[in-house]
Structure 1
Amino acid sequence: MLQDVEWLKSITTLPILLKGIVTAEDARKAVEAGAAGVIVSNHGARQLDYAPATISVLEEVVKAVGGAVPVLVDGGIRRGTDVFKALALGARAVMVGRPVFYGLAARGEAGARHVIEMLNAELELAMALCGCRSVGEVTRAHVVTEGDRIRALL
């Protein structure tokens, strides 16, 4: 990974973000290699049908980078509440592919725009229901994960 990032940095001045990060170890390696950010992604779960869901590994990756670089999440974002959960678990931003492409296929540019507007409206509703006036007010305290549920039983 280090050699690849070094090579990429030698041919461009653009920031290098590494995609496909699903473990804390890979996240730390990405930071050590000089990546400007990491993208938590299982490539749409198309490559390995048993790959972990991005939302389930997001918090681990965020903790591993310790704020050194931004963490984005790609995969599994279908509703505004998914955006809310990702932000609450520490993602700086989300990437949305499939829903936008479905909108594009159905109604062209207007369909893609509609999907983005719908995600935004759902995010705003989730924020309002949680008492958040801005994205900056969304915190870890706003979500309960499967891990939280298991720890509560112990």
Structure 2
Amino acid sequence: MLIRLGVLGLVATGLSGCGASLSDFSLKDQEWFSGANRVFSKNISIEAPPLTPNKPVAPEDLLSPEGGCSSMPAADAEPAAVAGPVALGHTECDVVRSAGPPSHVELSSDPQGARIAVVTYASGPRAGLYRFTSGRLSSIEALPEPTPPPTARRGRRR
């Protein structure tokens, strides 16, 4: 009997909340939720720079066959202590300014006439092959590991 009264009390409590309507709330609360005076506007726009660069590569952004740029300091100047970022899409001179002077530069063109540059860094924290197409960094590859010198095998003693 006690259990039935408990269940009946719970059901009555649950059903008592079903009778409320929006008219039970103040008019001010209803206006706030209706959207007339919303806290956030509907036309939120966030401006971000495009993922792909849209400005053309200028001649001063291209490396010379010696690996220098027109806007770089002299080769005997002290290099920067902290290297800057290097990312795909950067221009040739952006990468050289960030990573320092390269060990080797190879310039050529593909069959369509686009400029191809392969910049090699043989040592340092960013050692590798940096390939540029039309003045922009298109791939970065690790240098092949040097093969260890063969060790002389000694014959077995008897």
Instruction: Using structure 1 for the length normalisation, give the TM-score.
Output: 0.22
Higher relative contact order (CA 8 A, sep 6+): 1
Greater radius of gyration (CA): 2
